[in-house]
Amino acid sequence: MSITLAELAQRTGADLQGDGSVRVARVATLESADADAIAFLSNARYRAQLASTRAAAVIVAPAAAADTALPKLVSGNPYAVFAKVATILHPRPSDASGVHATAVVHAHAAIAENVSVGAHAVIGAGARIERGVRIGPGCVIGAGACIGEASLLHANVTIYDACRIGRRAIVHSGAVIGADGFGMAEENGRWIKIPQIGCVIIGDDVEIGANTTIDRGALDDTVIEDDVKLDNQIQIGHNCRIGAHTAIAGCAGVAGSTRIGRNCRIGGAAMIGGHLTIADGVTVSGGTGIFESIHEPGIYTGVFAPLPHREWRRVASALRRLSTFERRLRTLESASGNPSHRIDSGEEEH
């Protein structure tokens, strides 16, 4: 499949500069592109590659448009235009509708038109599968669960009973939606399991990465709002709420009953404690631990910059002794009769 640059401009909303009759068939990087490809520049560090690329056309921001004589699509958000172009040139193959002979579909499940159910999938009693849904091989859809219109479940996804997924969702292989939350009460040195009677509610246009797990609520529901993007191997605890348009990178963990606002960005391997509130518009850097609520938007980072190991050990040793240094400083200030501003240790004084 190839398409003209003029048609791509019209379909993506980008400005066309140069020969709109140029045809392209695929997307590629500036370095690897050849005469049938369109490349893109969204990171200034690759700007020098514009001069040497063999691409037929490029996608650039206005500031870089003059750096190349190639036909181009110009946009203030070239990465978004690239995403649209890639979707046009590389559409996902559609599965033929119908239920595979080895799938097990309960007699009381409701399957709409144009649904594809793969080999060895299982759909429970009362489940509702809406129009255009594609369910991969080995998926399990629990009793009373609902999968919204045009959603895609890759192979071996598990949706527990009564959980609901909105329209146009993408759920990657190995994801588990609606397993029991980690709710335990202790009595006489032993654990008593607390029944988890809520469910998981997932909005429209949500993507859930491979092997990501979202626990069902203990009493209320765990809620993932519209357009949330979850990377691979993320854990979302019971009764959490993730606000619309928030993106969370791989290996992050969110403990139970935490609310994350809208338009947040959580970096990979970030750890967020339970029963916290994260305001709208917060960015948490990768590897950061969040142990108190955040009430103001902004960027929050709690990770040391990398150091040579020997130097890191010296810094860590000094940090362990900070409370000792603080006590010595207060003693010296008291003896001199000239105390400086109080050092806030983060703890109450007694």
- In the predicted model, what is the mean pLDDT of the chain? 94
CB 223 within 8 A of CB 241: yes
d(CA 327, CA 333): 10
Tens of pLDDT along 97-107? 999 999 999 99
Query: What does the pLDDT average to over 236-240?
Result: 98
pLDDT of residue 1: 77
Cα distances from 305 to residues 30, 299, 312, 322, in angstroms, run 31, 16, 10, 19
Residue 270's nearest CA partner among 260, 257, 280, 281 is: 260
pLDDT at residue 326 in the model: 87
Strand ranges, E, within 46-114 = 57-60, 72-74, 98-99, 104-105, 110-111
* pTM for the full predicted model: 0.89
Look at the block and give the residue holding tokens 């793969």: 118
Distance of CA 183 to the CA centre of its chain: 25
Per-residue pLDDT of 53-98, as tens digits, reads: 999 999 999 999 999 999 999 999 999 999 999 999 999 887 789 9
Neighbouring residues of 21: CB distance < 8 A, sequence distance ≥ 6: 4, 5, 6
Residue 176 in 3-state DSSP? strand
Q: Where are the domains of the chain?
A: 3-89, 99-300, 311-350
Higher pLDDT, 288 or 349: 288
Q: What is the CATH number of domain 99-300?
A: 2.160.10.10
Mean pLDDT of 42-46: 87
Percent of the chain at pLDDT exceeding 90: 85
pLDDT band at 348 (very low <50, low <70, confident <90, very high): very low
Residue partners of 67: CB distance under 8 A and separation at least 6: 47, 50, 51, 60
Q: What is the mean pLDDT of residues 232-259?
A: 98
Would you place residue 342 in the very low, low, confident or very high pLDDT band (cuts 50, 70, 90)? Answer: low
CA atoms within 13 A on the CB side of 301: 6
Just list the catalytic residues: 238
Q: What is the pLDDT of residue 345?
A: 47
Residues 136-162: tens digit of each pLDDT: 999 999 999 999 999 999 999 999 999
Q: How do residues 7-19 score in pLDDT, each as one tens digit? A: 999 999 999 999 9
Query: Given this model, what pLDDT does residue 199 score?
Result: 98
pLDDT of the residue at 331: 87
Query: 201: which 2 tokens?
Result: 């509610």
Structural tokens at position 277: 């509130």
**Residue 239: per-residue pLDDT:** 98
Task: Please provide the distance, in angstroms rounded to a whole number, between the alpha carbons at the two ends of the chain.
Answer: 74
3-89 carries CATH number 3.40.250.10 = no
